[in-house]
Amino acid sequence: MNRIALCALVLAGAARADEGMWTFDNFPAKKVAAKYKFAPDAAWLEEARLATVRLAGGCSGSFVSPDGLVMTNHHCAHSCIEQLSTKEKDFVAQGFYAPRADDEVKCPEIELNQLIQIADVTSQVQGATRGLKPGKEFNDRRKAAMAGIEKECSAGNDKLRCNVVELYHGGQYSLYKYKRFQDVRLVFAPEFAIAFFGGDPDNFNFPRYDLDVSFIRAYEDGRPAHTEHFFKWSPSGAKDGDLTFVTGSPGRTDRALTMRQLQDDRDVVLPDRLAELAQWRGALTVFTQESPEHDRIAEGDLFFVENNVKRYTGYFESLTTPTLWDKLADRERTLRARVAGRSSLRKKYASAWDDVARAVDAFRAHRKEFSYVELNGDARPPSAFNSPLISLARMLVRGTDELQKPNEQRLKEFSDSRLPELKQKLFSRAPIYPEFEQFRLAYMLTKMREQLGADHPVVKKVFGKRSPQEIAHELVKSRLYDVKVREQLWQGGRDAVQASDDPAIEFERLIDPDARAIRKWHDDEIEPLETSGAERIAAARFEIEGKSSYPDATFTPRISYGAVRGWEENGRRVEPFTNFSGAFDRATGRDPFKLPESWIAANQNHQVEPATPFDFVTDNDIIGGNSGSPVFDKSRQVVGLIFDGNIHSLGGDYGFDETVNRAVAVDSAALVEALDHIYGARRVVAELKGSGAAAAATGQ
Amino acid sequence: MNRIALCALVLAGAARADEGMWTFDNFPAKKVAAKYKFAPDAAWLEEARLATVRLAGGCSGSFVSPDGLVMTNHHCAHSCIEQLSTKEKDFVAQGFYAPRADDEVKCPEIELNQLIQIADVTSQVQGATRGLKPGKEFNDRRKAAMAGIEKECSAGNDKLRCNVVELYHGGQYSLYKYKRFQDVRLVFAPEFAIAFFGGDPDNFNFPRYDLDVSFIRAYEDGRPAHTEHFFKWSPSGAKDGDLTFVTGSPGRTDRALTMRQLQDDRDVVLPDRLAELAQWRGALTVFTQESPEHDRIAEGDLFFVENNVKRYTGYFESLTTPTLWDKLADRERTLRARVAGRSSLRKKYASAWDDVARAVDAFRAHRKEFSYVELNGDARPPSAFNSPLISLARMLVRGTDELQKPNEQRLKEFSDSRLPELKQKLFSRAPIYPEFEQFRLAYMLTKMREQLGADHPVVKKVFGKRSPQEIAHELVKSRLYDVKVREQLWQGGRDAVQASDDPAIEFERLIDPDARAIRKWHDDEIEPLETSGAERIAAARFEIEGKSSYPDATFTPRISYGAVRGWEENGRRVEPFTNFSGAFDRATGRDPFKLPESWIAANQNHQVEPATPFDFVTDNDIIGGNSGSPVFDKSRQVVGLIFDGNIHSLGGDYGFDETVNRAVAVDSAALVEALDHIYGARRVVAELKGSGAAAAATGQ
């Protein structure tokens, strides 16, 4: 009786909350209509989808003109801005503006993806493994089925990216077909000091005063892309309580994890990751303080690390909050009881939780090895201190080897559909700094020896009698800094790479057998058990609850609805808007509260309106990856630009708490006011307001 | 039925295990006799107690000659060795040996305490608060009672240190009367490279190959102290399975914490502390790498931090081990059930667990504020990055103010019995390096602002519009580096300190009201609730189980028994001994596996016996604070020197696991072999072997 009453309450709560990162093909229009008296139709949703882009590196953006102009965050283009900078000209510090179309400069690594088609391929993928138990064969067949579908979709066309997307943890598979833009150029970026005003102290907090924006442009065949689907600019902006939509690609949520997995996150994974990030943060901070040059070459990495420290701290704190923990535990208990209570469900699903638990336990014993031997060549966290040099060497060593195999037998990051992404990284012109690599590699190797122990076979093999500094010193003599060298090795293929005496290549060749061994164990023994467990739990939930909810975020395009809305904190009300004058009040003249000269001058000369709304919060359900997402109204007019969440939004990884979880956005009025009256970026303003398309197209 | 069977098993296990850090007045001689056929008598125990010393800074040691020669660890004398070093002469790197008595040099901060008397004062202390509820009055009265007993005991004699020691969490109070040696001089220390061979990677591990020893000497009236109670040297050392005793002052265990407290440690305190230490570790590592001078002035701090990282990692891992957690939870459940089951117990004790839980919850909300505003001037962790400069300023500002009050109304660290310790710190000649202080203070202030938030009143007060670097830059202009300045201020008293324009003093005056406010809240609201809760839980345990066990460690002298014994790990046997040849095998020539020249030369010239036992393990129950403890046999002859525990010993904070928890010691044979054949330290060898007392006494 109590249980039923409780469930009714939870469901009622869920109905009230603006929760959900919905796929474009399953948007709860009726729910929105019931609450906000507005129901988007299919055409509206399609327009919103096509006007939204994903930055392949991990952000979101939107077309805001018919000429390929894309609005995203400064921090999403940060590495480009850094890469274009030189010792002489630091665009991070000074900002960037291309007054003419000709002045727009190519970003070495930014790729944009526009989702042009969604198709349900659940039956094909699930059919390929029907009747199989989780294990190597199950895994291989599913991988083969997915690779086949992707290959057929892109049909060798490099301008398309086709991904089979796993949703609801295997409850549904969708084929997402994207148009790919790889020629992307920088148009405008303000100074870092205003993009990230308040720095790390204010990060994930509110009130905020940040102009975290950059404008970039998609090109095709050397000309601005013609983009007929784009968001227009709102003349009036948003007000407190207004309905708001956010589109973009939330990176990852973990709202369907089992309690055993959550316990592993709470007790092992997150504390360990936080300690690793903290140590690297400390080291990197001092490194950047050693000289302006160190600061220039490493502050992007430091930014990334500090962001992750806050992020994982938020995750950890949400898991040690008894209310959330108890709620999630209760949800699992309820589902398991229902499964156990019906014999048809019990047979199919009851063992799923145990499978997941077995996978977690088995992996734990080799977690560090997997992290230091296999992940270190990769860019995934927690290896925040990864070396670009070693990553390149691994792409070459492994890539040329994997390409000998048929598509469906390769490691997934080397499948045909992923090759354009791989090549973009491999042939990126982004500079790599030997001095920073030396520092990073020595650090990484020291940590590897500490964590695996001096007696670990891989450590012995890598170290011999050398110190981390000596090994790093050898590695930085690599010739892979030069894109041409990488191109030659890639074209020379497996034989050329195997014959190379480049020290970074030699290093990768040395550890690759060990790295592959543990990767294989993970992919054959651990992953299938976890995947099939999650799939069956999701399936059980479908059978019982129906497909009335949204899937976990998977860095694929989604849409969320909500409203401009402050919140209560410790009995104090947090208002939803800040304005320019608040920023001038907060400025201390000292980093990270130092306003750029341009702002101080504009204020002194009364060029800007102090009452201009600056940043605001909404209760749209977002997560990392939504950075750069547009906030728009029911007419699909831009009213803001997502750049952060408040501290409570971090727990959104595991569950959404509508009372306190808030998205933080730059107000559209702030963007236009700053572009126009602080930066004199007339060309961009005209284009946003719809009067400047011609200028952009003909400017060259 | 099951519960009873389980309890019987647990008790049987406890009887078998060599568990316990026993007080000298409650040693389980019968238990030892039953297992090892040897029962120490009262005279034996008294001799052992009087031959044991405590290093007031946090270590243990033992008299090993009648002329005040004390054996302890290198890492216990590390700060002295560092303080005596200069740019020109680095005794940390090169080692130290005083060939003549005249060459022995005073350590600025080492104080030795010899426990000369123990008295039970339980009835006096408990009587002072009888009938009172926990709260300010309870607290004040207890403090007053304790201060009164201590004052009467020392009777103004600076050479005595009297402490009322709380045991069994208030179940028992004992008066410990120590003889204090404040003139302590360095006699011998090997090179850091062999004292800490294997460095951080090998720390808390085994096999080990470390000569972590230093010899210091107690002086009285400018002459070597005459110490009639001392440990003689064993001619034969220990063998596998031999009965071993360890005396010393284990710092702290938490074996009686409630589950609510353990949960707070697991979910909040330890993860936070680990992340803080990790970040400071990263920063400090890079700082020490910047120049040999930075390395010299900061590597002691780095060592301390790395040691704590491992320590707290071990704590955290033990709390996330379900077996230990479940065992502790079960123990609490059993005790609470027994209390609830008898009305006489229920009335007195049932609310104790709730009181503790309330204290934990209340403190959590202000934990960071307490840590950054109150603890930062102190040397307690987690403030591992504390500034000596600010600590001195606080001693002056607070000390001169507190001394205006009657003894029993002062903060406890300023009570009369603690004044000698305070003065030793305040007037220490240990150098303070402005460059390191600048680095440390800027770091600490940045962290304070990050953790408390830019809008916190104390942060606003401290920062104004200044950056952490600017504030630090002002602070390091302080004149407190100079002992004379400190002496003048102390003698000038409150008025002089209040009038001072020294920037460090001004800083302390600025934050002291806020720091005192939160300290007062803690001391009045939190501490009494926790203390009385723990006291009542301990009392309940006494009533039910009797005083058959040992109290938690409290950095007071204890004795443990055990045996030389390896262990099983992942099905592999770890043998209890290493030898010299193992060290030569492990050496790579690169830090931290680089042997000093002296060892390499001695090996090449066949001056040393490679089969000499080097380090060994026993199952004596020890914990941090036991560093420097002697290991001796039933004839009270030294067979080893404790310097570490294995990784499993870290969980010993919360409980003792006899299957894997091991103490790590240097073998007595290694000590003599190295002193004699590597360092030519004849004078020390003669003194240890009992033939050199005269030489030491007359050498000057």
DSSP per-residue string spanning B178-190: EEEE-EEEEEEE-
Q: A285 at the B interface (CB within 8 A)?
A: yes
For residues A667 and A577, the answer to whether their CB atoms sit within 8 Å is yes
Q: Is the pLDDT of residue B252 over 80?
A: yes
Supply the pLDDT for residue B304: 85
Q: Is the pLDDT of residue B51 over 90?
A: yes
DSSP H or E run through A513: helix A503-521
Q: What is the CA radius of gyration of chain A?
A: 25
Would you call B284 and A282 a contact, using CB atoms and an 8 Å cutoff? yes
Q: Is the pLDDT of residue B139 over 60?
A: yes
Least confident range of A3-7, A278-282, A379-383, A443-447: A3-7
B610 CA: distance to closest CA in chain A (Å)? 21
Q: Is the pLDDT of residue B62 over 60?
A: yes
CATH of domain B12-111+182-253+553-698: 2.40.10.120
DSSP A129: T
Q: Is the pLDDT of residue A382 over 50?
A: no
**Partners of A69 in the beta sheet?**
A217
Q: For residue A385, what pLDDT band results from cuts at 50, 70 and 90?
A: low
Q: What is the pLDDT of residues B595-650, one digit of tens each?
A: 999 999 999 999 999 999 999 999 999 999 999 999 999 999 999 999 999 988 98
Longest CA–CA separation in chain A, Å: 76
Q: Is the pLDDT of residue A369 over 50?
A: yes
Q: Is the pLDDT of residue A314 over 60?
A: yes
Q: Is the pLDDT of residue A552 over 80?
A: yes
Would you call A267 and B320 a contact, using CB atoms and an 8 Å cutoff? yes
Q: Which residues of A touch B198 (CB under 8 A)?
A: 454
Least confident range of A357-366, A539-548, B400-409: A539-548
Would you call A320 and B268 a contact, using CB atoms and an 8 Å cutoff? yes
Q: Which residues of B touch A593 (CB under 8 A)?
A: 454
Q: B268 at the A interface (CB within 8 A)?
A: yes
State the average pLDDT over residues A660-687.
96
pTM of the entire predicted model:
0.77
Better pLDDT: B256 or B692: B256
Q: A321 at the B interface (CB within 8 A)?
A: no
Q: A361 at the B interface (CB within 8 A)?
A: no
Q: What is the pLDDT of residues B542-571, one digit of tens each?
A: 788 767 889 999 999 999 999 999 998 766
State the average pLDDT over residues B511-531.
93
Would you call B450 and A282 a contact, using CB atoms and an 8 Å cutoff? no
Cis-peptide, bond into residue A207, ω within 30° of zero: yes
A287 CA: distance to closest CA in chain B (Å)? 7
Kindly report the backbone phi and psi dihedral angles of residue B660, in degrees, each rounded to the nearest multiple of 5, phi listed first.
-130, -15
Q: What is the pLDDT of residues B350-361, one digit of tens each?
A: 999 999 999 999
For residues B577 and B240, the answer to whether their CB atoms sit within 8 Å is yes
Better pLDDT: A303 or B297: B297
Distance CA A15, CA A1 (A): 21
Q: For residue A216, what pLDDT band results from cuts at 50, 70 and 90?
A: very high
- Residue A207: closest CA among chain B residues belongs to which residue? B455
Would you call B279 and A276 a contact, using CB atoms and an 8 Å cutoff? no
Least confident range of A1-5, A379-383, A647-651, B394-398: A1-5
Nearest to A95 by CA among A27, A193, A19: A193
Place of tokens 């990073």: A440
Supply the pLDDT for residue B544: 86
DSSP string over A47-96: HHHHTEEEETTTEEEEE-STT-EEEE-HHHHHHHHHHH--SS--HHHH-E
Supply the pLDDT for residue A570: 63
Q: For residue B5, what pLDDT band results from cuts at 50, 70 and 90?
A: very low
Supply the pLDDT for residue A376: 66
Q: Is the pLDDT of residue B111 over 50?
A: yes
What number is the ipTM of this complex?
0.75
For residues A422 and A398, the answer to whether their CB atoms sit within 8 Å is no
Better pLDDT: A420 or B497: B497
Q: Is the pLDDT of residue B262 over 80?
A: yes
Would you call B281 and A282 a contact, using CB atoms and an 8 Å cutoff? yes
DSSP string over B205-220: -SS------EEEEEEE
Selected residues 291-320 of chain B with any CB under 8 Å from a CB in chain A: 309, 313, 316, 320
Q: What is the pLDDT of residues B263-309, one digit of tens each?
A: 999 999 999 999 999 999 999 999 999 999 999 999 888 988 888 88
Supply the pLDDT for residue B696: 43
Q: Which residues of B touch A591 (CB under 8 A)?
A: 467
Which range of A529-538, B66-75, B364-373 scores highest in mean pLDDT? It is: B66-75
DSSP H or E run through A71: strand A69-72
Q: Is the pLDDT of residue B113 over 60?
A: yes
For A202, A441, A447, the CA distances from A384, given in Å and listed in that order, are 22, 12, 12
Better pLDDT: A343 or A691: A343
Instruction: State whether residue A659 is helix, strand or coil.
Output: coil
CB atoms within 10 A of CB A225: 21
The beta-carbon neighbor of A282 closest among B283, B465, B588 is B283
Q: For residue B699, what pLDDT band results from cuts at 50, 70 and 90?
A: very low
Two tokens at B407? 């003894």
Q: Is the pLDDT of residue B694 over 60?
A: no
A424 CA: distance to closest CA in chain B (Å)? 33
Supply the pLDDT for residue A11: 33
State the average pLDDT over residues A326-335.
90
Supply the pLDDT for residue B588: 85
| Arithmetic mean of pLDDT over chain B | 90
Q: Is the pLDDT of residue B158 over 70?
A: yes
Supply the pLDDT for residue B96: 97
Two tokens at A225? 């892309």
Least confident range of A46-60, A157-171, A501-515: A157-171
Q: Is the pLDDT of residue B76 over 50?
A: yes
Would you call B279 and A282 a contact, using CB atoms and an 8 Å cutoff? yes
Supply the pLDDT for residue A317: 87
State the average pLDDT over residues B228-233.
97
Q: What is the pLDDT of residues A141-198, one digit of tens each?
A: 999 999 999 999 999 999 999 999 999 877 889 999 999 999 999 999 999 999 999 9
Residue type, B108: P
Better pLDDT: B323 or A423: A423
| Arithmetic mean of pLDDT over chain A | 90
Better pLDDT: A528 or A477: A477
Q: Is the pLDDT of residue B15 over 80?
A: no
Sequence-separated contacts (24+) of A513-517 with Cβ below 8 Å: A514/A373, A514/A457, A514/A458, A514/A461, A515/A373, A515/A374, A515/A377, A516/A398
Nearest to B229 by CA among B218, B237, B221: B218
Distance CA B539, CA B532 (A): 10
State the count of interchain CB pairs (< 8 A) between A and B: 98
Would you call B278 and A275 a contact, using CB atoms and an 8 Å cutoff? yes
Report percent pLDDT > 70 for chain A.
94
Q: B591 at the A interface (CB within 8 A)?
A: yes
Q: B575 at the A interface (CB within 8 A)?
A: no
Place of tokens 């001072």: B500
